[in-house]
A and B are shown apart, each in its own frame.
Chain A
């Protein structure tokens, strides 16, 4: 029988850094990543030599990109490894860093995500199995199918899905690290030609480039390096699970979310009403409606009405994707899950400026990786 995170030594987020997410450019991943790591070290008041392990999330950089980048901080010989778990790569790197510190292997660990757009090659295409849909069901079509199904079950109309994009683009407009920084109207979201079903381009996330870095540390390291404990939220849950065989086979994203969130709440000893901030995997608008319901942030079928009433706005009952989420902040793959942790940390510190959700003391980050896996973390102020 394994251990719960709560049975291991406490782990805290002590430093965060981002390179803004952006469209593909000539900037190398090395420059992107170093920018984020140096920002995280500066935020924590740590030096590179203080970092005892590195977990580097990336999906599209190819083999062995990590030391090529980090040697420019000084080749300390620190243990480092690549982490690939599709969209959940950054979240998985964060989990690895958290467990490295919780287990006592390291006192300070770095989770880093960098990526640049490149052709994607899924393992499933090499599994030796044919499929009826093949590449005719791209990600946007998968979610268009879920949207049609959700609309049929809940009575939601296209405007209900578009309101997710309006909220998250509005949040992204306030985020200097977001790839999309422009508020949008309902007309702008729904009037564009659809890509699949009734999903229009502004209801689909941009996949660009960027970097996100998070430093986690033990209580002993916080004391040793004189880190301000009021700027160091504790990681009170780390849950990861893979897809099981579900009766509703097509909605595995929602089912796996329910599995992982349930484990996380159990670890943390809290429930959905204890959260003030949530960053979730809103690569497509329908996902936010599905996931807030499966997370217990509202009842089944209630998400469109609650969204329309402002429950998920910054300043609402629980701020969902105050960063702008994947829809506006962007989804550069490797960094995405770590970008969520930087946003929650900023919110819990009270340092989110125009995006601040007042009174935030606990937040949850959630990512789904194709395949499928789901990774959920909960952070809370404890100082």
Chain B
């Protein structure tokens, strides 16, 4: 990938070298790790902006559920696609589109990691974060 990638959601993830990370935050009052970043206040303890420190979260975790979506009204992706629910190693539970085209090879408990994939046209070069099974 040449230059800065054209991220579909630049506030949510980035590449550090070749490794994808999620843009999270740590509350220095209660220790809660949060995702995504926000400046409104800590959901757990209510601490405000100055207490919320930006951190990178490794895009790795464990698959806790998945579902193939067969009906989708948006035009950003064509059904069917697979949504995974992943408990990140850093704590937060996220839901994200999986790189796998179907759920046949997936099992709850699989180790997952984030990958940056092309999702737009070759001309726009838009990329987004998806997760894939580390075994697959």
A40 within 8 A of B: no
* B residues less than 8 Å from A245 (CB atoms): 32, 43-44
Contact with A148, one of B69, B73, B108 (Cβ below 8 angstroms): B108
Contact with B70, one of A130, A132, A194 (Cβ below 8 angstroms): A194
B68 within 8 A of A: yes
Question: Whose C-beta in chain A lies nearest to the C-beta of B45?
Answer: A245
Min distance, Cβ B119 to any Cβ of chain A, angstroms: 11
Q: How far is the CA of A135 from the CA of B77 in the complex (A)?
A: 10
A72 within 8 A of B: no
Q: How far is the CA of A132 from the CA of B98 in the complex (A)?
A: 11
Task: Establish whether residues A129 and B65, one from each chain, have CB atoms under 8 Å apart when the complex forms.
Answer: no
Task: Establish whether residues A148 and B67, one from each chain, have CB atoms under 8 Å apart when the complex forms.
Answer: yes
Task: Establish whether residues B83 and A145, one from each chain, have CB atoms under 8 Å apart when the complex forms.
Answer: yes
Min distance, Cβ A118 to any Cβ of chain B, angstroms: 15
Task: Establish whether residues B66 and A137, one from each chain, have CB atoms under 8 Å apart when the complex forms.
Answer: no
Task: Establish whether residues A148 and B66, one from each chain, have CB atoms under 8 Å apart when the complex forms.
Answer: yes
Q: Digitize B9-48: 1 where CB-to-A-CB distance is under 8 Å, 0 elsewhere.
A: 1011100000000000000000010001010000110000
Task: Establish whether residues A195 and B83, one from each chain, have CB atoms under 8 Å apart when the complex forms.
Answer: no
* B residues less than 8 Å from A134 (CB atoms): 74, 76
Task: Establish whether residues A132 and B38, one from each chain, have CB atoms under 8 Å apart when the complex forms.
Answer: no
* A residues less than 8 Å from B74 (CB atoms): 134-136
Task: Establish whether residues B69 and A196, one from each chain, have CB atoms under 8 Å apart when the complex forms.
Answer: yes
Known A141-B67, A250-B64, A250-B93; contact A130-B36, beta-carbon cutoff 8 A: yes
A7 within 8 A of B: no
Task: Establish whether residues B95 and A133, one from each chain, have CB atoms under 8 Å apart when the complex forms.
Answer: yes
Task: Establish whether residues B108 and A136, one from each chain, have CB atoms under 8 Å apart when the complex forms.
Answer: no
Q: How far is the CA of A145 from the CA of B11 in the complex (A)?
A: 25
A197 within 8 A of B: yes
Q: How far is the CA of A250 from the CA of B67 in the complex (A)?
A: 14
Contact with B68, one of A129, A132, A146, A196 (Cβ below 8 angstroms): A196
Task: Establish whether residues B36 and A149, one from each chain, have CB atoms under 8 Å apart when the complex forms.
Answer: no
A187 within 8 A of B: no
B85 within 8 A of A: yes
Contact with B81, one of A136, A152, A194 (Cβ below 8 angstroms): A136
A123 within 8 A of B: no
Known A152-B108, A249-B93; contact A136-B65, beta-carbon cutoff 8 A: no
B113 within 8 A of A: no
Min distance, Cβ B62 to any Cβ of chain A, angstroms: 12
Task: Establish whether residues B9 and A146, one from each chain, have CB atoms under 8 Å apart when the complex forms.
Answer: no
Q: Digitize A113-129: 1 where CB-to-B-CB distance is under 8 Å, 0 elsewhere.
A: 00000000000000011
B117 within 8 A of A: no
Contact with B69, one of A136, A152, A193 (Cβ below 8 angstroms): A136
Task: Establish whether residues B97 and A136, one from each chain, have CB atoms under 8 Å apart when the complex forms.
Answer: yes
A144 within 8 A of B: yes
Task: Establish whether residues B83 and A133, one from each chain, have CB atoms under 8 Å apart when the complex forms.
Answer: yes
What are 16 A-B interface contacts by the 8 Å CB criterion?
A130-B12, A132-B13, A132-B97, A133-B95, A134-B74, A135-B74, A136-B69, A136-B83, A145-B85, A145-B95, A149-B65, A152-B108, A194-B68, A245-B32, A250-B65, A250-B93
By a beta-carbon cutoff of 8 Å, the part of chain B in contact with chain A is 9, 11-13, 32, 36, 38, 43-44, 64-74, 76-77, 81, 83, 85, 92-97, 108, 129
Q: Give the top 8 A-B pairs by smallest Cβ distance, nearest first.
A: A197-B67, A144-B67, A149-B65, A133-B95, A249-B93, A145-B65, A132-B96, A152-B108
